[in-house]
Structure 1
């Protein structure tokens, strides 16, 4: 407990150190990946229809990614960690414990 008359030290934490890394309101890596896929679609097919389709797909996916980021800014990292877990864990204290 602090002594009477002694002020506690305060440290400021810069906001850029604690906020998620987003681009255009969504997860940076997913936005860049979907943009790359849309550009590949546009330049492989090289028609006006593919340009419109690529832009429409990217806009729709970007809207979905923004909704996902608004719900939980770290949803991609949480999902990737979740799929690494096994379906069930045995109720033992150690993996080397004998049943």
Structure 2
């Protein structure tokens, strides 16, 4: 029987700098827009703080659970209250 190696790149999660790819790119884009939108040193410092703080939180989320952003987004979509009643098609 022939064995084939399983490459790590085929089954590991897609992370950039320890954070999920989409979240890291979104944080970078937000920091870029704030930094170049203001064109002042205050906007630059704010952009650096947004990027540093956002990546710190995103890396912690990625370390705790590699898919935590998707779980968090699904949690936000859920309803806060499900009334105790049957559907309209129940008899």
Aligned to 1:62: 55
TM-score normalized by structure 1?
0.72
Q: Distance in 1 between matches of 2:3 and 2:69?
A: 33
Shift of residue 12, structure 1, vs aligned partner:
2.9
Matched with 1:3 is none
SS of aligned partner of 1:20: coil
- Look up the match of 2:33: 40
The structure that has the greater radius of gyration is 1
Q: What SS does the aligned partner of 1:69 have? A: helix
2:70 alignment partner in structure 1:
77
Give the aligned length.
Answer: 89
Change (3 A) 1:33 1:11: same
Structure with more of its chain in helix, by fraction: 2
**Long gaps (5+) in structure 2:** none
Query: Normalising by structure 2, what TM-score?
Result: 0.77
- The 5 A counterparts of 1:10-25 are 10-25=3-18
